[in-house]
């Protein structure tokens, strides 16, 4: 019944932007705990133990990243709000750096690095579509 147009961003869009910001903070040698959305040092045995106990895995990380990128794409495709689009593109560009840093973290796992490379390629396609 609310016919008033609101400038407020829907919460699911805000959640995607938060996820992109978190991903952008990942440095080389760090991992993302997708359950807690926290970044942990990959060289810490305690962090590895905690990730293992919470059911975290590399495959869950890939699924999480794919979902965030797909959701980001769908938001971009379904909005005309230039300010929101600029914000999303900026955060997606920054998140790409975090994903690239995961390549180094997982450099000994060819399967994961190839999946991360595909995700990065998809991010680049989305970012390049902004240049059109």
pLDDT value for 58: 86
Percent with pLDDT over 90 in the chain: 68
SS3 55: coil
pLDDT value for 1: 37
Per-residue confidence band for 99, with pLDDT thresholds at 50, 70 and 90: very high
Q: State the average pLDDT over residues 55-81.
A: 92
Q: b/e string for 107-119 if b means 16 or more Cβ within 10 A?
A: eeeeebbebbeeb
pLDDT value for 6: 52
Cα 91 to Cα 6, 79, 114, 120, distances in angstroms: 23, 16, 23, 14
Q: What is the pTM assigned to this prediction?
A: 0.85
Q: State the average pLDDT over residues 104-130.
A: 96
User: Tens digit of pLDDT for each residue in 34-59?
Assistant: 888 888 776 656 656 555 556 567 88
Instruction: Tell me the DSSP string of 2-28.
Output: ------PPPHHHHHHHHHHHHHHTPPT
How far apart, in whole angstroms, are the C-alpha atoms of residue 79 and residue 75? 6
Domain boundaries, the chain: 12-26+58-129
How far apart, in whole angstroms, are the C-alpha atoms of residue 48 and residue 85? 36
User: Tens digit of pLDDT for each residue in 12-22?
Assistant: 999 999 999 99
């Amino acid at each position: 019944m609310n016919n008033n147009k609101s400038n407020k961003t829907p919460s699911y869009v805000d959640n995607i932007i938060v996820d992109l910001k978190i991903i952008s903070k990942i440095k080389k040698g760090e991992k993302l705990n997708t359950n807690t959305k926290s970044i942990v040092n990959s060289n810490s045995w305690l962090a590895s133990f905690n990730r293992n106990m919470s059911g975290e895995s590399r495959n869950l990380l890939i699924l999480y990243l794919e979902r965030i990128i797909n959701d980001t794409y769908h938001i971009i495709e379904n909005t005309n709000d230039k300010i929101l689009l600029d914000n999303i593109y900026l955060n997606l560009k920054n998140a790409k750096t975090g994903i690239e840093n995961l390549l180094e973290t997982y450099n000994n796992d060819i399967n994961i690095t190839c999946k991360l490379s595909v995700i990065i390629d998809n991010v680049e396609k989305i970012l390049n579509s902004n240049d059109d």
